[in-house]
């Protein structure tokens, strides 16, 4: 009985340490809590959002391999190009990580993209 109690206590402590150890990584200016959170689909279908600051959430599907200056953010509704270079920051390789990005929706060569001012990774 003592061994089982000790084992359960060790498992509980290990889980707490792992949960406390998950830290967010902040790049650029981080995420603006005042910016509305939208989906990729919202960005493409609501033209009123063009040239406004928004936050988008998803995971990093593809990323610049040379210096981390851009990535493709994918959510349940689609994917969008996220440009980090215009605000002079980059990300280390974080493929598959959950990400939140705040920036301005804009177009370049008739393609919609998010010019990010900040990114937070989990």
DSSP-derived pairing of the beta strands 37-38 and 70-75: unpaired
Dihedral pair phi/psi, residue 66, rounded to 5°: -85, -45
For residue 8, the tally of other CB atoms under 10 A from its CB is 10
DSSP helix/strand/coil, 90: coil
* pLDDT value for 22: 63
DSSP helix/strand/coil, 79: strand
* pLDDT value for 101: 98
Q: What is the mean pLDDT of each run of 10 residues along the chain (122 residues)?
A: 46 45 88 98 97 98 94 98 96 96 97 98 94
What pTM was computed for the model? 0.81
Report the Cα–Cα distance between both ends of the chain, in Å, rounded.
39
């Amino acid at each position: 009985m003592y061994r089982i109690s000790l084992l359960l206590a060790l498992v509980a402590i290990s889980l707490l340490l792992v949960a406390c150890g998950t830290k967010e990584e902040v790049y650029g200016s981080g995420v603006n809590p005042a910016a509305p959170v939208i989906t990729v689909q919202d960005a493409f279908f609501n033209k009123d959002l063009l040239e406004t600051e928004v936050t988008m959430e998803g995971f990093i599907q593809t990323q610049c391999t040379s210096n981390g200056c851009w990535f493709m953010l994918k959510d349940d509704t689609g994917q969008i190009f996220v440009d980090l270079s215009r605000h002079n920051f980059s990300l280390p390789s974080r493929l598959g990580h959950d990400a939140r990005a705040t920036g301005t929706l804009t177009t370049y060569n008739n393609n919609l993209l998010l010019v990010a001012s900040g990114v937070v990774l989990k």
